[in-house]
Amino acid sequence: MARTKTRIAQVGIGGRAGMFLDAVMGPYKDRTRLVGVCDINRTRMEAVMERYRKRNKYPKVPMYGADAFEKMLAERKVQRVVVTTMDRTHDDYICRAMEAGCDVITEKPMTIDAPRCQRILDTVERTGRDLTVTFNYRYSPRNSKVKEILQSGEIGDVLSVHFEWLLDTKHGADYFRRWHRDKANSGGLLVHKSTHHFDLVNWWLDSTPETVFAMGRLAFYGRENAEKRGMTRFYSRATGHPVAQDDPFALHLDRDERLKAMYLDAEVEDGYQRDQSVFGYNISTEDTLGVLVRYRNQAILTYSLNAHCPWEGFRVMFNGTKGRLELNVAENSYVSTSKDDINLAENLEKEKEVKLQVPVILVQKHWQKPREVTYESAKGGHGGGDVRLLRDVFEGAGDDPLRRAAGHLDGAWSILTGVAGNLAIATGLPVRTRDLVRLP
């Protein structure tokens, strides 16, 4: 008997949209039907849809402007909405879709601040709709392995976690070229980026953040910091500017067909410039951050995020009552300044795993020699996490002993550390997450 296909619509047809488009037009086309797409920018939407439709030999999908979102939901009898817009608009689309009777899949971060978060929680409660937050990092085999080891009790109760995340001068810089550079759009990196990391810690520890303190500043990017380091020649956007020609931080939209079609040719509609100088004015997002968190189970987290490192990856150390677990991951070993590599293009989100000099996962019990833990590695974005995540999202999570599927409460807890951290940075005082939103 033929399966009834879930009628899916997607809003926000930019860079990240492709992962979901490829999934619904490819491996999940027997379970889903993409019945509509929506974006504020028609030129970009058309460019992206053409690319994925051709690649997957998929029929034409009706396109709607942002002012016709509800019309799309009604006209196309949509059952599930995928939200891949700019962060600050997530809450609005999530809530409007749920009010219209749809379930929702949203990209991280679920949203960017406490009032928006409360609106989502209230809407879920009122409508009873289902909200999935796509935390792909939970699914990367090495991160799943860590969960398995912690869950087995091998290192006992976790007393403290030390977590360092490094973004390199290619990927890290990208958050300072476009909308993320304005904290009002993304909640800053402590929400936009760290939502992944705080979600991992919440999930690994099976606990929730209680008290948060943070410090952070724009210390590397931005005009003033560059001037202090002796830079004297500047530009506001890279494409076509003589000063940007040999700047390894520059993104040249006209040197990459895909980026040109998606962003340069589309900017006439909304003024979205994808290639701004990372050493420009008016950057409100911090690039250097430190956070201290006490969890409900009393574990203490020390966390740092730097967006200007020579290599990209992360190190996490768990100290337990019976021993210690270390996770060391290099996603990119260095940033090349070769002309071909300057544009981000396709490989922006692709992982290039390069082994560090230390094992990826190391467990050491008290009084014993360290044990290197092997895990089944996987290909694809985010350490192989993207492919596995999509399987859960479109086929259902089933009875996963690692409980990787994430809903609205996980989404909320994952942003609350960053939201509280932002408040702590602004006030200089520790913040209790319970004072921010009403959560069960």
Ligand X SMILES: NC(=O)c1ccc[n+]([C@@H]2O[C@H](COP(=O)([O-])OP(=O)(O)OC[C@H]3O[C@@H](n4cnc5c(N)ncnc54)[C@H](O)[C@@H]3O)[C@@H](O)[C@H]2O)c1
Based on its alpha-carbon atoms, the radius of gyration of the chain, rounded to whole angstroms, reads: 22
Helix (H, G, I), strand (E, B) or coil at 358: coil
Which residue's CB is nearer to ligand X, number 326 or number 386?
A: 386
Which residue's CB is nearer to ligand X, number 323 or number 380?
A: 380
Q: What's the min distance (Å) between Cβ of 188 and ligand X?
A: 12
Residues 6+ apart with CB under 8 A from 328: 313, 315, 356, 358, 359, 360, 361, 362
Q: What's the min distance (Å) between Cβ of 363 and ligand X?
A: 27
Q: Which residues make up the interface to ligand X (CB under 6 A)?
A: 11-17, 39-41, 44, 66, 84-87, 89, 107-108, 134, 136, 192, 349, 382
Q: Are strands 80-83 and 103-106 parallel, antiparallel or unpaired?
A: parallel
Which residue's CB is nearer to ligand X, number 231 or number 268?
A: 268
User: Residue 88: which of 195, 17, 188 has the closest Cα?
Assistant: 188
Distance CA 434, CA 229 (A): 41
Q: What's the min distance (Å) between Cβ of 157 and ligand X?
A: 30
Q: What's the min distance (Å) between Cβ of 353 and ligand X?
A: 16
Which residue's CB is nearer to ligand X, number 148 or number 349?
A: 349
Which residue's CB is nearer to ligand X, number 324 or number 382?
A: 382
Residue nearest to ligand X (CB): 14
Distance CA 375, CA 136 (A): 17
Distance CA 301, CA 166 (A): 17
Q: Could you count the other beta carbons within 10 Å of the beta carbon of residue 290?
A: 16
Looking at residue 278, its amino acid is V
Q: What's the min distance (Å) between Cβ of 69 and ligand X?
A: 8
Burial of 419 (0-12, 13-18, 19+ CB in 10 A): buried
Which residue's CB is nearer to ligand X, number 15 or number 418?
A: 15
Q: Which residues partner with 170 through β-bridges?
A: none
Q: What's the min distance (Å) between Cβ of 54 and ligand X?
A: 19
Distance CA 157, CA 421 (A): 25
Q: What's the min distance (Å) between Cβ of 85 and ligand X?
A: 4
Which residue's CB is nearer to ligand X, number 210 or number 267?
A: 267
**Residue ranges of E strands in 90-206:** 103-106, 131-133, 158-168
Distance CA 404, CA 200 (A): 10
Q: What's the min distance (Å) between Cβ of 402 and ligand X?
A: 18
Which residue's CB is nearer to ligand X, number 130 or number 270?
A: 270
